[in-house]
Structure 1
Amino acid sequence: MENGHGAVRQLRYLPAVGSAYGVETLTFAALRAMDVHQRRVQPQRPDFHVFALVGSGAGAHEADFHDYRLGEGSAVWIRPGMVHRWSDIDGCDGPLILFRPGALHGFTTAEASTPVCWQLDRQRLPLALLAADHLGHEHGAAVHTPRLASPALLSHLLAALILRALPDTPAATGATRSGGPRAEVFRVYRASVEEHFTDWHHVADYARALGYDVRTLTRATHAAAGTGAKEFLDQRILLEAKRLLAHTDVPVRSCARRLGFRDVGNFTAFFRRQVNTPPAAWRAAYSTAGARGV
């Protein structure tokens, strides 16, 4: 991993020497040992996935303006682009898996709808830890004995771990269905939103570019993410607006311009419609809460 600049550390996926397989394993203890200056407690934005299991201990984590208490059995899944920080993991133990988006296939629905943090029960936790341990051993073997390396094997073991740990939701039961027309439609829509949300604010723009009609995008998004295509797009724009307001000192007018709004009035109206508060007031309230440790 390497760091960028600014209030939020931009983390790039740079695997350890001999570990160029798109998957890397470590532990909370290893993270603490390599982070002696405790940069982990500051906001960071990885361009890779982080999946963690708390096998023992307790702590705290924050991701995109939500606080999570961690305890035995907690699972955490940070997706690329999320702004998060390990508020307090000094007492946590368990595995962490870092992986590139391409290392996990067929999880479109799970990535979109699984929460950032959830709890495994006493039956599932040992099995999930066993799956993580298996992945860790195979990763170690690949690093120390390259002839044993198999990116496909690591990818399958990673998928097995995620499947074992996913919460019991309708999304989890269909998480491995990489095929199917709606899953594919949502996959390309989500990727397009991620690429163009600062320029295209209407679902019709994506429909034209992708060759689908708006109704098809709406149905596919609702099936995968539980929300309509327009709400999905608006929430992505809103999230980025909150990130800019919370983690930078960029003026509201410049935030509007970065997010593709023609003028600050349109941006303010959009933000107020979503959170019932104008952006400047939201920023001030967030800064005050942060200063108080809320």
Structure 2
Amino acid sequence: MKSGHDAVRQLRYLPAVGSAYGVEVLDFAALRAMDPERRRVRPQRPDFHVLALIGAGTGAHEADFHGYELEEGSAVWIRPGMVHRWRDVDACDGPLILFRPGFLPPGCTAAEAATPAGWHLDRQRLTLALLAAEHLRREHDAAVGHPALASPGLLSHLLAALLLRTLPATSTTSTTSTTSTTSTTSTTPTAPDGPVDVFRGYRAAVEEHFAEWHQVGDYARALGYDVRTLTRATRAAAGIGAKALLDQRVLLEAKRLLAHTDLTVGACARRLGFSDTGNFTTFFRRLAGTPPAAWRAGETL
């Protein structure tokens, strides 16, 4: 992607008329019909979730600088704020589930952090996932066609079932173990809410303040936990420590700014809360392995 030329399109959640339930079920054919200008191949940044299953066909997708080849059995989970593009889905067939962040079942919080943007399902798991998506679609259509039958709670539970059926094994294991741990640690003085709630609060705070607060201690003080509690909860949910998660979030935003804007390196540094460009360059080089200017040049070739 060339900086300054592929402007990122911001996508807001705008459900179809009669579909204001926090979730909507489409498919790739509908996506192509709604997008005759092929804007889908350009960078876009939704403020909602998109879960896609490839039931047939091949294609390509890109999310936050990672490319994914699509084929039968491919699964894609685009989270709010991700910069992504459907590089080629002209021959893809399968469901697209759009849903608001608040509609995501709480038990899937850990899985959201641990799951990549793209992975693959074997044939048996794909068959079951497509059945789960079809069940969700039928209930959604019933809610739209007959509002008296509408049940957001039911739709949320069906979405949770679909996610649990679709997620990679490691993410499902993480969700199960974290959920079960909650009951055994709920009386711990340092984490009365349990690790899932601690992690959820930390990640939300990071998303809000990553451009201001670069130390885990800042979040610990704001949330009322100690640093070790945040680190344990984050490691249990995401597989990395609290500082690593924070640094990766800052690095990701730095890459987005470098790739998709014409801001100077110094301006990017200031946007991300670095008072000194040299400190930002050191931070970027340590995590990305190359200085920001060189990384940008490589992205724009």
Tell whether the 8 Å contact from 2:174 to 2:236 is kept in structure 1 after alignment: no
Provide the secondary structure at the position in 1 that maps to 2:123.
Answer: coil
Q: Does 1:219 align with 2:214?
A: no
Percentage identity across paired residues of the two chains: 74
Q: 1:271 aligns with which of 284, 287, 291?
A: 284
Match of 1:136 in 2: 137
Residue 219 of structure 2 is matched in structure 1 by 206
Q: C-alpha displacement at 1:31, in angstroms? A: 0.1
Within 5 Å, give how 1:164-179 maps onto structure 2.
Answer: 164-169=165-170, 171-175=171-175, 177=179
Q: 1:83 corresponds to which letter in structure 2?
A: V
Equivalent pairs counted in the alignment come to 282
CA contact (8 A) 1:108 1:178 kept: no
What secondary structure does 1:18 align onto? coil
Q: CA deviation at 1:173?
A: 2.5
* Distance (whole Å) between structure 2 residues aligned to residue 269 and residue 104 of structure 1: 37
C-alpha offsets along residues 21-52 of structure 1, whole Å, 9 cap, x if unaligned? 00001000000011000000000000000000
Task: State the distance in 1 between where 2:54 and 2:14 align.
Answer: 24
Say which of 271, 275, 281 aligns to 1:262.
275
CA contact (8 A) 1:48 1:80 kept: yes
Paired residues of 2:48 and 2:99 also in contact (CA < 8 A): yes
SS at match of 2:297: helix
Give the match for residue 163 of structure 1: 164
Deviates more, 1:214-223 or 1:179-188: 179-188
Letter in 1 for 2:19: S
2:294 to 276, 281, 284: 281
SS in 2 for 1:7: coil
Within a 5 Å distance, the mapping from 1:1-294 to structure 2 comes to 7-105=7-105, 106-169=107-170, 171-175=171-175, 177=179, 180=182, 181-288=194-301
* TM-score normalised per structure 2: 0.92
The residue type equivalent to 2:136 in the other structure is L
1: CA distance, partners of 2:172 / 2:300: 36
Give how far 1:178 is off: 8.9
* Cα offset, 1:114, TM superposition: 1.0
Aligned partners of 2:298, 2:172: CA distance in 1, in Å? Answer: 36
Asked if structure 2 preserves the Cα contact closer than 8 Å seen for 1:107 and 1:178, the reply is no
TM-score (norm 1): 0.94
Q: RMSD of aligned C-alpha atoms?
A: 1.2
Return the alpha-carbon distance in structure 1 between the equivalents of residues 65 and 203 of structure 2: 21
Q: Is the 8 A contact 1:53 1:96 kept in 2?
A: yes
Name structure 2 gaps, 5 residues minimum: 1-5, 183-193
Structure 1 unaligned blocks of 5 or more: 1-5, 289-294
Q: CA distance change for structure 1 residues 36 and 7 in 2, over 3 Å: closer, same or farther?
A: same
> How much has 1:141 moved relative to structure 2?
1.0
Deviation, structure 1 residue 175: 2.2
Higher relative contact order (Cα pairs below 8 Å, separated by 6+ residues): 2
